[in-house]
Amino acid sequence: MRLTSGFRIALVALAALFCAAPVARADSGSISLTIYKGGWFIGGSGGGGTLTFQGRKYRLSIGGLSAGLVFGASKANLHGRVSNIGRPSDVAGVYGAAGAGGAIGPGAQAIVLRNQKGAVLELQGRQVGLIANLDLSGMALSLK
């Protein structure tokens, strides 16, 4: 019995599909961050936080730079969700944003960010301080 080449290719592709290693499923967790930001034209940010993923807590470190019009200082306490991660180290990376904003005293803040690994942060919280910005900024998150 002779098999046609098209049928052979389909059979090999089907076998490869069933024999392939299982693909990691993306998961989500919760995150809380405290970010201190300040600057005079060029700004910087730093802080820390906690990632809760699959029942375990992981400490995070934050650092970043802003370039543009940045004046003042602020502290933001943010919490939310991180999605599209397969392991805790997927949250580490550089998150970038361009925008304008400001705070005089306390104010609400919400932001959605994505890193180069595809992790998505959906954060909300309160920002306190006196700051005005129109800038490009980047934030680097790393596991401690």
At 130, is the pLDDT very low, low, confident or very high (cuts 50, 70, 90)?
confident
Instruction: Report pTM.
Output: 0.73
**Which structural domain range is residue 53 located in?**
25-143
Residue 38 pLDDT grade (very low, low, confident, very high; cuts 50, 70, 90)? confident
What the block records as the tokens of 117 is 């690994």
Q: What is the tally of structural domains in the chain?
A: 1
Q: Is 91 left (phi over 0), alpha (psi -120 to 50) or beta?
A: alpha
Q: Is residue 129 part of a domain?
A: yes
118 in any annotated domain: yes
71-127 residue pLDDT tens: 788 898 999 999 999 999 999 999 876 555 555 556 667 788 899 999 999 989 888
Indicate the average pLDDT of the chain.
79
24 band by pLDDT with thresholds 50, 70 and 90: low
Q: Is residue 108 assigned to a domain?
A: yes
Say what percent of the chain tops pLDDT 90.
38
Is residue 15 predicted with pLDDT exceeding 70?
no
Does residue 111 form part of some domain? yes
Helix, strand, or coil here: 12?
Answer: helix
- What is the reported pLDDT for 4? 59
Look at residue 14 and tell me if it is in a domain: no
The answer to whether residue 5 is domain-embedded is: no
Residue 9 covered by a domain: no
- Phi first, then psi, for residue 39 (nearest 5°) are 175, 165
* Domain membership flag for residue 20: no
Q: What share of the chain is helix, strand, coil (3-state, %, to 5)?
A: 15, 70, 15
Q: What is the CATH number for 86?
A: 2.40.128
